[in-house]
Every structure is written in C-alpha cells, then in structure tokens.
Chain A
C-alpha cells in the first residue's frame, strides 16, 4: 500500500538553520531515502519552497487567486514523500526513521493514498520559473 508522509514544520525555524545545519539534516534524510530506494519502496518526494512563494486558487462562483498558503498554520507543509509500506504500522515505523534523521521538531502526517498516478516527469526536470513575467510587466506599463 502506498502512503504519503507529509512533512510539517515551522518555516520560521527552518529559515534560521545555517547552511551547515540544513545540509546535515538533508544528508541524514538522504540516507533514509537511499535505504527506501534500495528496498524498492521509494516513490516521489519533494521539498517545497516556503509558503511565502505560494498562491492559493480559491474556488467559488469565480475562482480567485490569493497570495499565501491555503491555511495559516503554526507549522507549514514543507515537503512530502510517497512510500510503499506493508501496513499502517510499517508506515509509522518509516516516519519514525525520518524523525530520527530530522529530530528538530515538527510533525509527519501519514495518509494512505487512494489513487496514485505515477510521475511522467523525468528526474531532475523543471525549467526555471517566471518566463512569462516580463511581458506581463510590459502590459502593466
């Protein structure tokens, strides 16, 4: 069964980490990821930019785009993993391994997947953002 492990943490706190602290946490998490990969259990995973980079499309009669994350919370969704696990117990154990690698507070929400569409994107994909920006600025002029 596939589980999503959603990573919540205070982004103010994560923003105070020095590069060394950040690198150290990432290196330890990478070891967990490598192990999961070897076991053939590792699905897509991502670290998200801060909520300051987010906009939210609020659906309604008219869909409105507002700046910021969907919900203002003390801890923010900062990343996620999709992992193959035998059962809930196994998923919790996996999250515990991650918690040992990143023992800095925060929380992992464990959610079983209902539907899974495997990624069509190649690893390392992703063109830089913002190609359309300047033409829109030109119109603002």
Chain B
C-alpha cells in the first residue's frame, strides 16, 4: 500500500470521531467540517514527512481545533498557536487529548453526530445523503451518482438539509439512558435506510450503489463498537452482513435481479456470512429478541441452507410469527405467508394474506405473491388477474419482467390445453 492510500484510509476511518468531537467543541456543523478539512490538508502535508501519528483521530481533532481557534484569534489580532509540526512531536499533548476524549464522551459525540443526520423533519433521502456526506465523508459526486441525480442538485439537497439542522435545536448535553436508547433506535433505522438504498439498486446503478451497502456496514460496525452489548445493534449488523453476502449472486449478466431461491449460492461471500452468524449467535445470548435480530435470524437460516431446498422454512415461519408479534405489519405477514406456503401449502398461505388485501392494495409484492399462490392452486384465471395488477404496480422493469414470465407460462398452459 502506498503512503497516500494509507493516509487516505487513516483519514476516512478517523473522520466520524474527529467530526463528532469538533462538533462538540464548536457546536456548529459547518465550523466542525471546515476545521476537519483544514486538519486533513495539514495531515496530507505533515504525515508523509513526519510519519503517521499514533492516533490519527486525536491528531486531526487537535489540529482542527487549533486551526479554527487560531483563525478566530487571528481575526482578533492575537498571537498564533504553535503549528502542528511541533504539536505532533508533543506526545504529552496528544495523550492528554486522548485522555480527555474518554470513551463515554466519544460514544455520545458519535451518537450525536449520527443522530443529527436523522432529524425527523428531514425526508429519508436527505437523512441518507447527509449521513453519507458528513459521517462517511463520501463526496457529493459519489452520493449524486448513487441517487442518480446531478451533482448540483445533490449539493443543493445537502445544503438545504444542513440549513434545516442548523435551525433545529441539537441537544449537546450528555443524554440520559432513555434518550440514548431512543437515539440508538433512530440511528439504527437510518443506517438500515442507507443499506436499503444500496440494496435496492438494479441495472446500471448496482456498482455505484453497492458502495452504500458497504458504508452502512461500516456505520453499523462503528455503532456496535460504541454499544458492544446491544443485541439489536448486533442484529442490525448481522442483518446487513448476511444480506450483503448475497450481493455477487443477486444479479444476472444483464443486471436483472435473481431471486433468492434461484441464486448460485457458491457466489455468496462466506466471510461476511460467518461474521453475520457469529453476531446472531452473540445477540441471541441476551434472550431479548427484537426486529433486527429476528430478521437477521431469518437471513441466517437462508445463509445456512446449502441449497434452496434445504431451507428450514418451519423455523423461518416461527421467526416471522415472533416478528409479527413484536412489530406487526402487513408486509411482515405477507413475508410470513411465503414460509407458510412452503410448510403448509399454498391454500393456507392464501388464507393468511386474504385479510391484507385492503391494506396492501397498492403494493406490487402483494399481487405477485397472491398470483403465485393462486397459480400453484391451479386457479389460473384469478392468478392472471393478480399478476396483471402486479405489473401495473411494478416499481422497475425487472419486477415487471419477472411477473410477465409467470403470465407467459399461464398463457402457454392455457394454449396447451386449448
């Protein structure tokens, strides 16, 4: 690895902690970001010459803070602080700072930084864009590419989101236990959003968007290091790892989505699966099942099946029943019905989803799944009707193409009989 790429990853990995600490000092996101940028420029000059500091984050925080204070003092025509060439040799200064960044502060700093990106007034896409820009340090260009919008439009979107946050009250006092738990849940949801934004990619956007999945995993791991005993954070991290492990098998040569049951499982990433399974194991020791843990456990059962036909659908049905109790939603019930169809047959599954018709009447997957059950039961006319509705509601050409395949089969069958 060359020096420059080493410096690059050192800066990237120090970024969340450094920005979070600078935000605590300056209580202003723009000032914190500018101070960090300036510190990075100095790092690029200083580190190749003097060697990397022992603690890159502490160095960047110290230099960033001094630079910003220095700027403020210069404006008041006061004396400058010593420059960072000297500072980096002062082991004492560095270790003092590290001490002052005690782990509780560090944890709340980072949680606060993540939390302000989740401001309830910000729409999901802005939350994601903001987290990627501020916490992960992706460039506006990279984010714009992932969202398929122009750079100027993305720049504007981020500026607007920041302005909204600046007006909002960001709480800087140390959060109490209930607030901390609430923030943790909000931040977890935001990380999951970032992941899904990448995971739902198809066609030409796959490459640009899979970076979002990796960023989300990095954020989840970071959160887990801050809160090492939170089973739901373990569950979230495991869920992302297990889903991302299938990435290499999720698209065919034309970029079309390959369904789970038809994926070439030899392409799944074993390293990610093993880590995901280890985290599910750890989480379950706590015996406090939550939505992320249950979804991770379901993903784990798919990961453990060497062939699609080895899948333990019975256990998956049990887990979905638990998920339904903890977090009732028509979509969870719809997903559960898929497991039920494997265990008890299509008639039972159809019965489960019948009551969902009203709530899910605008939902593509509802009609896709319903059509599939009807087709299995030989109720072809009704199946065709459901598939027609599905096509009308499809969110992408790939989804529509998949349903059309079923319709073609029904048509071929009908013609065969006729």
Contact = CB atoms under 8 A, between A and B. Distances in A.
A and B interact: yes
A50 B218 CA distance: 12
B285 interface: yes
Given A21-B5, A68-B228, A52 B237 contact: yes
A121 interface: no
B228 A67 contact: yes
A16 B1 contact: no
Contact of A129 (B9, B278, B288): B278
Interface in B258-296: 273-275, 277-282, 284-285, 287-289
Nearest to A25: B1
Contacts of A55: 282, 285
Contacts of B6: 103-105
Contacts of A138: 318
Interface stretch (A7-15, A38-46, A77-85, A112-120): A7-15
A123 B210 CA distance: 33
Nearest to A137: B284
A13 B6 CA distance: 9
Interface of B is mostly: helix
Contacts of B322: 137, 141
Which of A15, A66, A139 has its CB near the most chain B CB atoms (within 10 A)? A15
Contact of A105 (B10, B273, B274, B318): B10
A52 B225 contact: yes
> Is the interface on chain B under 10, 10 to 19, 20 to 34, or 35 or more residues?
35 or more
Contacts of B300: 130, 133
Interface string B302-327: 00100000001001001100100000
A24 B5 CA distance: 12
B228 A128 contact: no
A140 B284 contact: yes
Interface of B: 1, 5-6, 9-10, 12-14, 52, 54-56, 98, 103, 218, 221-222, 224-225, 228-229, 234, 237, 273-275, 277-282, 284-285, 287-289, 297, 300-301, 304, 312, 315, 318-319, 322
9 contacts: A12-B222, A67-B234, A72-B103, A105-B52, A128-B274, A129-B281, A130-B277, A133-B277, A133-B300
